Structure 1
């Protein structure tokens, strides 16, 4: 009898992912993950139906990712507690990572002011904790909870850290590429962006291949609705920081050229559109995706954008739906700066981060 009970228990555990999620009510304290939700988030993240940062907590983007995944696979849409996805492919929630000496190459001093950032050759992570949260797609609070009582602000090489079991984002594999090669077979795909829902979807005919949360612009700097086209994709771009562009959309002669790195304002990828100043790009603040506003572009997490570019190509159509930019008050509009005439860039400057310099808006 004891053997039968053990077998029955094992069977129920093996099929439990098919019976919806066990979400306690009330929820545990804020930093404690609900493991059924974390399992779902890890599953959706692996399918590139991004739930946002992994934290094991119910939230807007986890629910939206679930519903989009269900719809794309011909399943009825449900709320989290009623999810009937087969999550058995997520065989483990956690793994361990040993911090390496070479990881320190990507961590260092990060000045806050663009004037100081422009003097550096690379914009690194400001801590090993930030390095780990991006590498494993998660909230810092989750790592802090999982690794109690370890002090996450004093990590060092040799430390072993418990992390979510996801495909890691490998910053060390990214090199500067001014123009990623075209992929002709992707030309008929379409990116559809809903700025009100803060979602980006990649479509191949009637099939949604991926869905990601984004931070679009709003108000006077709302992301412009319309039908656009991808002009090119740059890996590890530089960024032309121009306060006038960021606040008014008008170039000035006062700007700072910011170097590459995970803390570059446009992250590790720039997908330029045929609307000057507008693109889809990575970010230096993945924890705020979907919870803030950009200056007109569409930000997504670095761990998402590096996978997104494997599904898209130059020349693809991008359809943006949402409210247009709000008109500025007349007195403000009259006071906007006047753009200076374009100046020719040196050949070396043209080759380095071309699309970022051309479009220049965060």
Structure 2
């Protein structure tokens, strides 16, 4: 496994990148120019009242719009990947910049794997790492461009690739040995969707070690299994290949912008510099996110969740208030950052692969790992500017109090979130977008 991770000869990589391995004809981030006005709005997966309209009017589509196929089962997605696993791993670690197009559909590309990991290391989160091109990658590229003073146009060129590579020389895929703690659980293989049943559980834990490890290494679970086809993820001592992601950012965020048009949460330091960016699901038509500037009020790691049907929404036949136990598969994931506007906050999600593909119920939904990192970067009083697609402006910094150590605040009924966790068991079709946009 170690030899696999270190890669094969550069000659093989060069051959593959120059055409020795089949490349598709579309989805070329090297040729795509995407500004804020060109990111199309995703369709909603539905809401409590059955509203199927997007939370905001669709924005202008990219120059090429190809209707994507519905999400296939994991086995089918793995079968569609043209690269043998060993070659995919070695080519990802040895990948160099080329203007060649990325594959259509659900086929992971070694250059995209490397790009996603490098963006993740540089605090421009692409969401789940899966080797697939999409909007979340383009948004991360744009954020990194802003961070390094490059022209912000969403184009990946040789200069930007070199800037990313300069930040870290470590391989992007590495070996990891599963520990006894990793497989010890507790796990809940069959997690009920009904809140009344969830309220009876001791915790809303991961379903298995594979789901837990995928989140730890910021990966799509199907992609993790694709890289490790012979591993059951049930036994300690097994060696697997994982994404070599970056360490959590240690700087402090002085101002947050929730960009509704770009579907991205952006954190700025006290000097107004962009230091972190996350793809996000922001509001919906039935419960839109707030407008204007609000402030962080409370922070809770691994919070309880308060279901209040008389205040927020009704799930199924549950008409009584419920207290759901904490856990990464809870309605708000493993982290809650409450705002001074009651019931609204920034939080994690039990389904990281759906970030920016579905609508939320008013709050800002992030991957669990991005939400946990953000919780360590902010403190009560940090402003959160909700910017609408039209007329978005640069963040206005507020004077901040001295940074102090913060203990996570308990989540109470007064700061509970109106999120509705269950989603239909499919990824919705995306309108006016390139194929398989993230």
- Largest Rg, 1 or 2: 1
C-alpha distance 90-108 of structure 1, shift in aligned 2 (>3 A): farther
SS at match of 1:221: coil
| 2:165 matches 1:100 | no
Residue 138 (structure 2) aligned to one of 51, 63, 72: 63
Partner of 2:209: 128
Residue 225 (structure 2) aligned to one of 144, 152, 169: 144
Partner of 1:265: 331
* Alpha carbons 2:335, 2:371 under 8 Å: kept: yes
* Alpha carbons 2:112, 2:133 under 8 Å: kept: yes
**Structure 1 residue 167: Cα displacement:** 4.3
Partner of 1:347: none
Aligned Cα RMSD in Å?
3.3
* Alpha carbons 1:135, 1:168 under 8 Å: kept: no
**Structure 1 residue 115: Cα displacement:** 0.8
Structure 2, unmatched stretches of 5+, are 1-9, 18-92, 391-406, 420-438
**Structure 1 residue 156: Cα displacement:** 2.9
**Structure 1 residue 160: Cα displacement:** 2.2
Scaled by the length of structure 2, the TM-score of the pair is: 0.63
User: Which is bigger in relative contact order (C-alpha 8 A, separation at least 6)?
Assistant: 2
* Alpha carbons 1:23, 1:81 under 8 Å: kept: no
**Structure 1 residue 23: Cα displacement:** 4.1
**Structure 1 residue 257: Cα displacement:** 0.5
SS at match of 1:68: helix
* Alpha carbons 2:299, 2:410 under 8 Å: kept: no
Partner of 2:45: none
**Structure 1 residue 242: Cα displacement:** 2.7
**Structure 1 residue 91: Cα displacement:** 2.3
Q: Distance in 1 between matches of 2:109 and 2:199?
A: 42
Q: Distance in 2 between matches of 1:224 and 1:122?
A: 30
- Which aligned pairs between 1:43-54 and structure 2 lie closer than 5 A? 43-54=118-129
Q: Deviations over 1:210-252 (max 9, x none)?
A: 110111111020101111011121111100123444438xxx9
C-alpha distance 295-278 of structure 1, shift in aligned 2 (>3 A): same
Structure 1, unmatched stretches of 5+, are 1-7, 170-182, 325-350
**Structure 1 residue 50: Cα displacement:** 0.6
Scaled by the length of structure 1, the TM-score of the pair is: 0.75
SS at match of 1:219: coil
Q: Deviations over 1:294-341 (max 9, x none)?
A: 1111010111112112221111111101279xxxxxxxxxxxxxxxxx
SS at match of 2:262: coil
Partner of 1:358: 414
C-alpha distance 69-17 of structure 1, shift in aligned 2 (>3 A): farther
Q: Distance in 1 between matches of 2:235 and 2:95?
A: 40
SS at match of 1:220: coil
Structure with bigger helix share is 1
Q: Distance in 1 between matches of 2:142 and 2:240?
A: 32
Residue 35 (structure 1) aligned to one of 110, 133, 147: 110
C-alpha distance 28-277 of structure 1, shift in aligned 2 (>3 A): closer
Q: Distance in 1 between matches of 2:196 and 2:409?
A: 19
Q: Distance in 2 between matches of 1:43 and 1:281?
A: 24
Partner of 1:190: 255
* Alpha carbons 2:280, 2:366 under 8 Å: kept: yes
Q: Give the length in aligned residue pairs.
A: 305
C-alpha distance 353-311 of structure 1, shift in aligned 2 (>3 A): closer
* Alpha carbons 1:246, 1:295 under 8 Å: kept: no
Q: Deviations over 1:25-79 (max 9, x none)?
A: 5x1762x421221111111111221111001111101111111111121112344
